[in-house]
Amino acid sequence: MKKLYILLMVFALFFSCKKSDEEKLSGIVSKKTEVITSNAEKEISKQTADFDKDKFYERSFLLDWNSFIPKGRNSNFLPSSYSYTKHGVKYKTLIIWKTYTEYGMDKLLQSYAEGGEMGGQSYTKDDTGKKLLVAGYKYDESGCLISSIEPIIYGEGGQMEALYEYDSYHRCTALYSRYIPEIDLIPYSAEYDQKAENCIITQEGLKEYTPINKTNDVLECKSYYVHSDGKKDLISTIKEGKTEDYFFYNNQKVILINNRLEEIKDENGVWKFLYNEDGQILEAVQTSNNKVKEKFFDVKYKNGELIESKYDDGKSVIKTIYKKYDSFGNWLEADIYYNHDGNCSFTIFRDIEYYE
């Protein structure tokens, strides 16, 4: 009996010691964890202090790429573009119209006949001399494009409006659209707004922005097509940033000197620009991969006003004669000539409204 009692005491002492050791070990691990966690938090805090989050993680694009990337004769950086506007002014709306001459309409209808049946509604001889809508644009006071309208001249006709949504950093985050089944409405008029209010708005696109390289200040933008069920498909990925010498936008590189566009490098070669003493574009030259230089755009000015420009992409030549300006120096009326033809094909009219 005495031996059994001694054995029980030994077991009790053993488990008591084991429990005490476990408590000590647990305390040591806990303290080490606290130290590791504290050090990690300090490191994160130190890294966060090294840069301004608002300037990097949530910044906008460094440049307005719509004004720089080459897109042919309608590039916004060319003064002959229908949507070209001078910087430093707050635009509210820009509405562009086209009026065909009899000569121009005959040429257009001839191209329809040569191209075969295009289907649905299109221009007819009766449209000669009429003011036909080309496009409409609406901006907010910060300069962001919030709406664009284009006519649908085929099928049932009408107008298609795109609506753009932005975040607090003026980055476009979403694209919506709505169809207005009347083609003769003046964009952004009271009648247009009343009709548009009853039309269904559908989300078409989504944009997401992510920083991927703090050292080189690289921002990534992914564009998605949004289906009616909410699912999204990736359309494109853009990476944008700045090195010591140039801005880059995927495969395009833009060189600015004193905030003036000097050179654009892309996959198809190099675009170079020549300016006059007033900082206005005089000509643009493209050097392709085979090193052949081609002057595709040149301009004439008189007393600081644009009076004539010529665009030549190797396939067609477009000459523009500018006839009327507003008090801000934006052109309002211009005649368009094709391929060295002495006859005007059509006239472009621009209605511009400004914020006060």
Distances (CA, A) of 343 to 56, 105, 129, 175, 220: 53, 12, 15, 40, 48
- Asked if pLDDT for residue 75 goes beyond 50, the answer is yes
Q: What CA–CA distance (Å, rounded) separates 135 from 130?
A: 15
Give the per-residue pLDDT at 299. Answer: 94
- Three-state SS at 110: helix
> How many residues does this entry show for the chain?
356
- Asked if pLDDT for residue 202 goes beyond 60, the answer is yes
For residue 213, the enclosing domain spans: 51-354
**Does 7 map to a domain?**
no
**Does 104 map to a domain?**
yes
Tokens of 168: 């607090």
User: Contact 334/347 with Cβ under 8 angstroms?
Assistant: yes
Given the DSSP bridges, would you call strands 247-249 and 252-257 parallel, antiparallel or unpaired? antiparallel
Reported confidence tier of residue 54, pLDDT bands at 50, 70, 90? low
**Does 24 map to a domain?**
no
Tokens of 332: 């309002």
Tokens of 339: 């391929």
Mean pLDDT confidence for 7-20: 42
Q: What CA–CA distance (Å, rounded) separates 138 from 134?
A: 14
**Does 59 map to a domain?**
yes
Does the pTM exceed 0.85?
Answer: no
Distances (CA, A) of 190 to 14, 185, 194: 91, 10, 6
Reported confidence tier of residue 161, pLDDT bands at 50, 70, 90? very high
**Does 15 map to a domain?**
no
CB atoms within 10 A of CB 134: 18
**Does 344 map to a domain?**
yes
Q: What CA–CA distance (Å, rounded) separates 102 from 129?
A: 7
**Does 2 map to a domain?**
no
For the chain, the domain total comes to 1
Please report which helix (H) or strand (E) contains residue 109, including its range. helix 102-115
Which percentage of the chain shows pLDDT scores above 70?
78
Reported confidence tier of residue 34, pLDDT bands at 50, 70, 90? very low
**Does 31 map to a domain?**
no
Give the per-residue pLDDT at 18. Answer: 42
